[in-house]
Structure formats: C-alpha cells, structure tokens
C-alpha cells in the first residue's frame, strides 16, 4: 500500500508540473532544457544510489564466485535497458526535436514518448518498496517526483502549442502521471515471488531508468549550443539527489 501511494503521489506531481503552464505566459526552450537536464541528473543519481548500488551489494552474495554474481547483475541491468528499448521500438512516438511548434498529432506522439517513461518509473518505485529491508525507497520516490515536474510542464507546453487550452493540457499531464501507479502494482506483485527476484528487479529497474535518461531526456536537450548550461544543470541535479540519498539512507 505504501508503494502504491508513493507512486500515486509521484504521478500527481506530473500534474503539478502541468499546472505550471499557468505560471508564465511563455516558456522558452532554454527554460525547458534547464529543467529537463536537472531532472536527468536527479534520475541518474536516484537510479545509481537507490537501485543499482544496493542491488549490486545484495546480488554479490548470491554466489561465492563474484564473476557469476557480476554476470547476474549486469544481465539484469541489460534486461531493463532492453525492455524499454523494445517498447520504444514497438510503440509509435516522437521526440520534441528541440522545437516548441507542434501539430496536435505530433504533440500526442511526443506525449506517448513521455508516457513510455512512466511505466518503468512506476515499476522502479514498486520494486524499491519491495526491498525496504535493505534500502530506503523514499529517496527514489523524491527523485522521480522531482523529475516529473518538468515532464508534466513539457506535456502541457506541447499541447498548448498544438492549440489546446491550458486547462486541458494541465489535466492531460495529470492523467499521464497516473500511469506510474500501474507500473508500481506490477513491480510490487512480481517482486513478492522470491527473495532473489527483488535485487534482480532493482537492477532491472535501474537499467530502465538509465535508458530513460540516456536515450530520452539528454538527447532532447543537448541539441543546442548551450552545452555548458546543460551540463551544469545535470550536475546540479545529480548533486542534489546524491545529498538526498545520503541524508535519507
């Protein structure tokens, strides 16, 4: 129940980001890039410190031969990457491509791309709450929630650019955020099958978050000449989430 409520709260924050469309008359591409890059740094730290590192230590106890244990860990991470990669290839979607000018069709294809992120993020929350015995899942939830704010705002901006009303755009962002509890339920149900599945699931969930950052978020924001600002935002997000992870350990 805690895992489900946490994923629900993180999903609602996507709606909070969507309603930020009312705070300014117009958001520049630089504004969006800065927020998304900071979110990428937050997600990188969350995936490493809340999922990958704890699962690595736990999986290392699976077999006396560290080479075998390392194979299990790397295989689980790769499986998470491959899963989201496959979903990306199978489901039609489109990236922002550094523009704020959308047709309604392009806006929805872009929203589908963001929706694809929500399922593995919810899965990561469910897996994390299944592993409360050897990690604190709260820092991961905070990281995902912080990351959801610019994503919700980006959803709203894309729809407004496609001539939708601000209110409809904001509520759409909130609705997209509700995909996360679905992923959390899947994670919570599957992780209860075996003690060994939990750390493997954590490594897999970490892999899915890595794919989201490396393949989906960063390529959207590094297409401009402002690479120093982008890098600074990533580092600040990473440092912020590292601090949160250490404090809440």
Question: Mind listing the pLDDT tens digit for each residue in 117-147?
Answer: 788 788 888 877 877 766 678 888 888 888 8
3-state secondary structure of 93: coil
Q: Please, are residues 10 and 181 in contact by the beta-carbon 8 Å criterion?
A: no
pLDDT for position 194:
63
pLDDT for position 238:
93
pLDDT for position 98:
43
Q: What distance in Å separates the CA atoms of residue 221 and residue 169, rounded to the nearest whole number?
A: 22
The H-or-E segment that residue 49 falls in is: none
**Positions of the chain with pLDDT lower than 70, given as ranges:** 91-110, 133-135, 192-195, 220-226
pLDDT for position 68:
93
Count the neighbouring beta carbons within 10 Å of the beta carbon of residue 66. Answer: 10
pLDDT for position 204:
87
The two three-digit tokens of residue 127, written as one number: 């897996």
pLDDT for position 197:
81
Cα angle for residues 180, 184, 190 (degrees, 5° grid)? 145
What single DSSP character describes residue 21?
G
Instruction: Look at the block and give the residue holding tokens 């899965």.
Output: 123
pLDDT for position 239:
94
Length of the chain: 249
208: closest CA among 123, 135, 130?
Answer: 123
- Does this model's pTM top 0.85? My answer is no
pLDDT for position 99:
46
Q: How many CA atoms lie within 13 A of 244 on its CB side?
A: 25
Q: Please, are residues 241 and 111 in contact by the beta-carbon 8 Å criterion?
A: no
pLDDT for position 105:
65
3-state secondary structure of 26: coil
């Amino acid at each position: 129940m805690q895992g489900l409520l946490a994923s629900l709260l993180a999903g609602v924050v996507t709606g909070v980001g969507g309603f930020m469309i009312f705070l300014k008359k117009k958001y520049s591409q630089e504004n969006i890039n800065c927020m998304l890059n900071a979110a990428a740094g937050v997600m990188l730290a969350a995936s490493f410190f809340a999922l990958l590192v704890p699962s690595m230590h736990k999986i290392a106890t699976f077999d006396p031969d560290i080479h075998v244990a390392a194979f299990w860990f790397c295989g689980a991470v790769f499986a998470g990457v491959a899963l989201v990669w496959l979903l990306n290839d199978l489901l039609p979607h489109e990236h922002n491509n550094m523009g704020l000018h959308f047709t309604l069709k392009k806006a929805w294809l872009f929203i589908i791309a963001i929706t694809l992120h929500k399922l593995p993020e919810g899965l990561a929350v469910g897996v994390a709450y299944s592993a409360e015995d050897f990690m604190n899942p709260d820092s991961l939830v905070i990281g995902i929630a912080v990351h959801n704010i610019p994503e919700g705002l980006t959803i709203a901006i894309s729809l407004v650019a496609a001539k939708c009303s601000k209110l409809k755009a904001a509520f759409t962002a909130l609705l997209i955020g509700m995909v996360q509890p679905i992923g959390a339920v899947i994670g919570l149900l599957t992780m209860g099958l075996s003690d060994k599945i939990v750390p493997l699931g954590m490594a897999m969930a970490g892999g899915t978050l890595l794919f989201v950052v490396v393949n989906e978020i960063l390529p959207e924001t590094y297409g401009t000449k402002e690479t120093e600002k982008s890098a600074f935002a990533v580092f600040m997000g990473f440092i912020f989430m590292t601090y949160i992870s250490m404090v809440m350990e």
